[in-house]
Structure 1
Amino acid sequence: MTTRLLSSLCLSALLLVAFVAPAPKKITVYLVGDSTMSTKEVKAYPETGWGTPFVAFFEPELVAVENHAQNGRSTRTFLQENRWQPIAQQLREGDYVLIQFGHNDEVPTKKSATTEADFQQNLLRYVTETRSKKATPVLITPVARRKFDEAGKVVGTHPYAELVRQVARANQVPLIDLEKSSEALLQQFGVEDSKLLFNQLAPGEHPNYPQGRDDNTHFSELGARKMAQLVLADIRALKLELANRVVQREVKVAVDPQAR
C-alpha cells in the first residue's frame, strides 16, 4: 500500500468519525400529578397508575423517568406539601415535565379543591418554572372516569379539563388531551368491557380487596397500560424530541423458505 493511499484512507476515516453525531445526553422525564398517574403501594395492587408502564417505553440509557405523582393531590396541595420545589430545583436543560391534575382540584367537597383561577395559575407556575430551566413542560388533561349514560355513551366528568386546554393555548404549551383520547377508548370498549380497564374486582378475587372493588376512576394493569399508550401516541404526534428516545426493538420476521 502506497504512502499516499494510506494517508488518504486515514483522512477518510478521520472525516467519517468527525461527521458521526454524538449520542444524545441522558434526560429526565418528571411525572407530576395525581393517583391516576402515580406509582402504587403493594397493598393497592392491582390498582395501577399509568405512570408505571410509561417508564418502560424509553431507552434507559437515554431517559430516566421519575414518577412524583401522588394520590389525592391537586395543583395546590402538590405545591403546599413542597413536592414541586425540589423538582424545579433539579431540572436541567432538555428535561421534560408531564403535568396532569384536575381530578382533585375540581371537587368542591375535597380538601384538595382549588378554584378555577388558582388552578390555572398553579398550572402556569409549573410551566413557567420548567421553562426557566430550559426544560419542556407538557400539560395533560385529566384522564376520563368510567361513566356512561343510558344510551351507552361516555359522559365527561372533568369541568377543569377545558381550563388545562386554555392554559396550553394561551402559553403555547404542548398539550396531551388525555380526557378526549381516553373517553374515545372507553367508548370503543363499551359499557361492560370497559370495566376491564379499571380496578373492578369481585369479592374474593384479590386478597387486597376481600370485599371486592367497584372503582371507575383508578386503573387495572391493563387500563394503565392502555392510558400510557395514549400518552405515548400524543408525544409522537406532537413530534417532541422525547419521541426519538422510545425503545427500539428489531422485529424479526420468519421467512418460509418454500414461499415463492
Structure 2
Amino acid sequence: MMAGILKSNTRKILIYGLVGLLAMMSFSFQKKTTIYIIGDSTAANKKPQAYPEIGWGMELQSFFKNSVVVDNRALNGRSTKSFLNENQWKPITEKLQPGDYVFIEFGHNDEKIDRPAIGTSLTEFKANLVKYVLETRDKQAIPVLLTPISRRSFKDGKLVDTHGGYPNATRQVADSLKVPLIDMLFKTENLLNQLGDKSSIKLFNYVDSGHVNYPTGKKDDTHLSPDGAKTIAGLVVEGVKELMLSLAKKLK
C-alpha cells in the first residue's frame, strides 16, 4: 500500500513538473510585439561619430517590458517619398505580423520642396501617409501617425513653427482614416514654450568646441541630445497612454 502511495505521489510530481515546464515553454515562446518606427533623423539610430546627437527612437525601448521589441527603421534625411523610393518600406511590410505597430513620423524633409527627390507637395505627402497606413492594416498591424517634432526656432523669445502645412496634413489623414495620432508637434511646442529659449537648449545637440566628434562645436536646433531624446521618447509614451493603445499595458 505504501509503495502504491509513493508511486501515485511520484506520478503527480512528474505531472505537475511537466505542466510547469510546458507553461514556462509556452511563456517563453509567446510572440513579442514589434514597434517599427519609420521616419527621419529626429527618430533615427545614430552612429557613434554623431554622438551626442541621438534620435528619440533609440530611447523608446527603455520604456517597455521585454514583451515589446522596438525596431527603429527611421533614417537621416528621409521623407515619405524617399523612404518609399529607396525601398525602405517593403522589407518592413514583409516582416509585419498581426498586432505589430508602425509609428509613422515624417515632415521634416517632406517640406524641402526645392529638393525634388525628397520634398513632397502636401497632396503627395498625404497620399504617401495613406499608403503606409493601408499597407500596415493589410497585414493586420496597427499604424500610429505622429506629427513631426518642433525645431527649437525661437524669434524674439517666441517659438515659431517651421513645418508649414505638413503637421495638419498628418492630422487630416489620421482623422479621415481613423488612425491613432500622437501630436508630437503640439507636445514638443508646449515643452519648448515651458522651458523657454535658453533652457530648451539642453534638449538639442549643442556641443562646445573641442569635442572629439565636433572639434569646432555644434549648435543644432533640430536634432536631439541624449536628454532630449529621452524626453521626447517619454512624450511618445505619454501619447500611447492617452490613446489607450494595447501597448500601454506593456510599459514598465
TM-score w.r.t. structure 2 length?
0.87
Q: How does 1:139-218 map to 2 (within 5 A)?
A: 139-150=145-156, 152-159=157-164, 160-204=166-210, 206-218=211-223
Give the RMSD, CA atoms, in angstroms.
1.7
Task: Report the AA paired with residue 179 of structure 2.
Answer: V
Q: 1:244 aligned to 234, 239, 249, which one?
A: 249
- Residue by residue over 1:199-233, the C-alpha shift from the partner in whole angstroms, topping out at 9 and shown as x without a partner, is 011211x2100010010000000001110000000
* Equivalent residue in structure 2 for 1:82, among 73, 82, 87: 87
Match of 2:237 in 1: 232
2:148 maps to 1:137: no
In structure 2, the gaps of 5 or more residues are 1-11
SS where residue 214 of structure 1 aligns? strand
2:61 is matched with 55
Q: What secondary structure sits across from 1:94 in the alignment?
A: coil
- Residue 72 of structure 1: aligned partner: 77
Query: 2:81 corresponds to which letter in structure 1?
Result: R
Percent identity for Structure 1 against Structure 2: 48
Matched with 1:3 is none
What residue identity is the alignment partner of 1:162?
N
Distance 2:118 2:52 in 1: 25
In structure 1, runs of 5+ residues without a counterpart are 1-9, 248-260
Give the letter for the 1:197 counterpart.
L
**Separation in structure 2 between the aligned mates of residue 199 and residue 97 of structure 1, nearest angstrom:** 27
Aligned to 2:5: none
Aligned to 1:5: none
**Matched residue type, 1:244:** K
Matched, 1:93 2:95: no
Question: Within 1, Cα distance between the matches of 2:54 and 2:114?
Answer: 25
Cα distance in structure 2, aligned partners of 1:181 and 1:107: 23
CA distance in 2, matches of 1:113, 1:141: 16
> Number of residue pairs matched?
227
Q: Specify the alignment match of 1:113 in structure 2.
A: 119
Q: What residue identity is the alignment partner of 1:217?
A: T
